[in-house]
Amino acid sequence: MSYQLSDEHQRLVDTVRDFADTVVAPAAYEYDTKRSLPYDIIAQMGEMGLFGLPFPTEYGGQGKDYLSLCLAVEQLGRVDQSIGVTLEAGVGLGAMPVFRSGTEEQKLEWLPQLASGGALAGFGLTEADAGSDAAGTKTTAVLENGEWVLNGSKQFITNSGTEITRLVTITAVTGVSTRADGSVKKELSAILVPTPIDGFTVEPSYDKVGWHTSDTHPLTLHNVRVPEANLLGERGRGYANFVQTLDEGRIAFAALCTGAAQGCLEEATRYARTRNVFGHPLGSNQHIAFKLARMQARVHTARLAYYAAAELMAAGQPFKMEASIAKLVGSEAAMDNARDATQIFGGYGFLNESPVARHYRDSKILEIGEGTSEVQLMVISRALGFEA
C-alpha cells in the first residue's frame, strides 16, 4: 500500500494550492470581517471544475475520484476553512445525495448545475431535537394529490441561504408504524426542495464563533409543496441514505481538518523562523521546535488517515470505521495545532487579522460538525463489537 500521490493528483494539489495562496488567502480576512460569501471566488472555483470533481462527465463533472475532491478541500481549508467547507458541503452534502440516490431524471436536472459551481445545494438533516439522533426528526412530508407537503424546521444548514442556493434536500417523516412492543417507528425519507419556493423561509444567519464566511441558516418549511417525483431514493430509506452521505462526507471533512492543521503548522513554522527573541530565531528554542514537531506529527497522521479511508471507499470496501477515525483524528489535529500555533505567535496570534487566530476560532466546529467526536467514538467502538 502506497500513499504517494499520482502525477494527476499532484498537479491538482499544486493548482489548488496556488489558487488558495494567491486568490483565497489575500481575501480571507476581508470576507471574514464582512461575514459574507465571496461569490467571485466561488465562481472561479466553479470555472476550475472543483465542484464537479467526483462526478461523471455526462453530468457535467470532471470524472475524477473522491480523493481528488478531498485534496482540493484540504488545500482550500489550509488558508480559509469557510471556503473549504463551502466546497466540501456543496459537493459532499449537496450534490452527492442526488448522485448516489437520485433517478436519472433528477441527476440530469440537478448535477450539471451543481457541478458547475453556478448553483449550491444544502442537506437539511439537523433539527432542534434531531441530528445524531435521527429518530428525533419532527419535520413531516405528507403526500397529497401527487405532491409532498412539507412542514417543520431545520437548523445549522450549510449553503442553504446563498444567492446561488437552488436546492435543499430535506429529511422528513413520511409515515409511522407501530412495533410489536407498542412503540412507534418513524418512516424517514429524503425530499428534494428547489429554492426559492413558496413556504420555504431562510431565517437570519447565525452569529457564529467562526466560519464567518460560510453560509449557515435555520430553515422553516410551512406547507411547502413539491411534486411526488421529488422523492430522493426509496420512500422510507431516508435514514440509510443520509448515513451513507455522512460516511462519505466525513472523509472530505477530515481532509478539511487536515488542511486546517497544515495551515497552522505552516504559519507557525514561518513565524518561528523569522521572529527573533533575545537575538535568536524563536524556533531555536527547543520547546518551540518540539511543539512544531508535534504539530507536524498530527498533520502527517491526519493525512494518512483520510487517504486510507478514501482508498477503501474507492476500492468499494467497507470504510465506515476508517472515515470516523479520519474525522476524529483530523479534527483533534486541527484544534490542537490551532491552539499551539496561537501560543507560538503570542499576542499576534490573538489578533483577528492573523490566520492562526481565524483557525483558532474556526477549528472548534470541526470537532462538532458532520458528527461530533463522541459520535465518531461511538461508530468506532461499535465496529469493535461494543454497543453503548
- Residue 338: alpha-carbon gap to chain centroid: 19
Q: Do residues 159 and 90 touch, judged by C-beta distance below 8 A?
A: yes
Q: Which residues contact 177 (CB under 8 A, 6 or more apart)?
A: 184, 185, 187
- Asked whether 23 and 41 are in contact (CB, 8 A), the reply is yes
Where are the alpha helices (H) located in the chain, listed in sequence order?
A: 7-19, 25-34, 39-47, 66-79, 81-88, 96-101, 104-116, 238-274, 286-314, 320-345, 355-363, 373-383
**Angstrom distance (rounded) from CA 128 to CA 123:** 15
3-state SS assignment for residue 122:
strand
For the packed helices 81-88 and 355-363, what is the interaxial angle rounded to 10 degrees? 50
d(CA 112, CA 216): 24
The DSSP call for residue 130 is B
The torsion angles phi and psi of 156, rounded to 5 degrees, stand at 60, 45
**Which 3 state secondary structure label does DSSP give 385?**
coil
d(CA 80, CA 64): 24
Beta carbons within 8 Å of 103's beta carbon, 6+ residues apart: 229
C-alpha cell at 30: 476581508
Strand partners, 65: none
* Other CB atoms within 10 A of residue 23 CB: 17
Active site residues: 370
**Cα→Cα distances 352→24, 29, 41, 134, 301, Å:** 17, 8, 21, 37, 28
Q: Mutual orientation of helices 320-345 and 238-274 as an angle, nearest 10°?
A: 30
